[in-house]
Structure 1
């Protein structure tokens, strides 16, 4: 597994420890940090309970702050929820941008991107649940965010750049739309997290088994590469 993925995992564990520590710490006169800490706690609250079930009271209690402070920074529960979505999408796109895929040969770059997507989503189930919740709302809040829409442009551009290089070099077959390729990468990685409980129970699969997870990861990488190969 590449160093970037390890860093993402360490970042996830560290952020949870930080949130726990922050919950018991007094507030400082640092608006940016205060907002980031609120978003961190709210991310878990919204991912677990959805927009309707999440309570500002619980977030405020975990933060040892007041509801008034949260409303001061975010305006409303919906405003906080939107900020959580933007932060979640910003984080994955920021890490993707640091993979330096343009420095790799097309097939190697594609393999690295698919493996990263699998690892990131597996290590960040809160992100998957947030996306699932937003789909329940039919993308209502995501549609309000120019930030999220702008963030996804470079993501598609990156996939397109890898694919176009592969076509020019005769490695990949022509005629695949970059958005379709992006969806093909995201779908099995998303399913691996979103459906782990139901699929695992029905087919008696232990999704916590490291060897099985590694085999599933490699199978998804290979499936995508074979899909585009010339």
Structure 2
């Protein structure tokens, strides 16, 4: 009698687990974009915290209460997931830049808004900065295989090129201003503000990282960039 009850209980549990699994499979197929987005969000956090070598697929799965099998279903393996996470992080930056809708603005105002956006984006997305730092440790070998990343990054230079062309046309910008150099300059200052905060703070304190100080620093970065291009 006890064996029969135990057997019935085990069958019920297995049926419940099977039903849960079937529900998950159906949800994967019903909204794959949402599933991918959830996985990528968890992956970016995990890779940013532990690097490519230290990150574990099981830990990523645990962050969103899913299975490793589902992650492998969508991304193949850990390196495939890492590349997808890195690409998604860059895509979000380009998307934010595009949504600024700078077309038609005076060149100085367009550049001012772009610099402010970059500063704020990097400050509010430390995981993005860490992912880029990690890829630099790997000498950029994963990014070399990402064609769409190269295409999206080209749009960033094209946007700056339009601003520079307009500024040169109005006589506000120097004729020799370079969109590529300008992009490097903006990235360098906004990136350092986040990437080197831990060591900078240990040496010099947290004075520059209060909300007010960061707001003041952002305007100084804007001023430095504008000063470098004005005729």
TM-score, normalising length from structure 1? 0.86
1:145 aligns with 146
Q: Secondary structure at the match of 1:190?
A: helix
2:122 aligns with 121
1:66 aligns to 2:67 (yes or no): yes
Query: Equivalents in 1 of 2:95, 2:61: separation in Å?
Result: 28
> Any idea what the Cα deviations from partners look like across 1:116-170, whole Å, max 9, x if unmatched?
1000100000000000000001111111100100101111000011011101110
Query: Equivalents in 2 of 1:73, 1:40: separation in Å?
Result: 14
1:228 aligns with 229
Q: Which of the two has higher C-alpha Rg?
A: 2
1:151-230 pair list within 5 angstroms: 151-230=152-231
Unpaired runs of at least 5, structure 1: 1-25
1:19 aligns with none
Q: Secondary structure at the match of 1:79?
A: helix
2:38 aligns with 37
- Total equivalences in the alignment: 205
Question: By how many angstroms is 1:176 displaced?
Answer: 2.3
The answer on whether the counterparts of 1:196 and 1:207 sit within 8 Å (CA) in structure 2 is: no
Residues 200-209 or 141-150, more deviating: 200-209
Question: By how many angstroms is 1:206 displaced?
Answer: 3.0
Query: Equivalents in 2 of 1:214, 1:61: separation in Å?
Result: 37
Question: By how many angstroms is 1:52 displaced?
Answer: 0.5
Q: Secondary structure at the match of 1:57?
A: helix
Q: Secondary structure at the match of 1:103?
A: coil
Q: Secondary structure at the match of 1:101?
A: coil
2:103 aligns with 102
Question: By how many angstroms is 1:207 displaced?
Answer: 4.3
Q: Secondary structure at the match of 1:171?
A: coil
Q: Secondary structure at the match of 2:207?
A: coil
Unpaired runs of at least 5, structure 2: 1-22
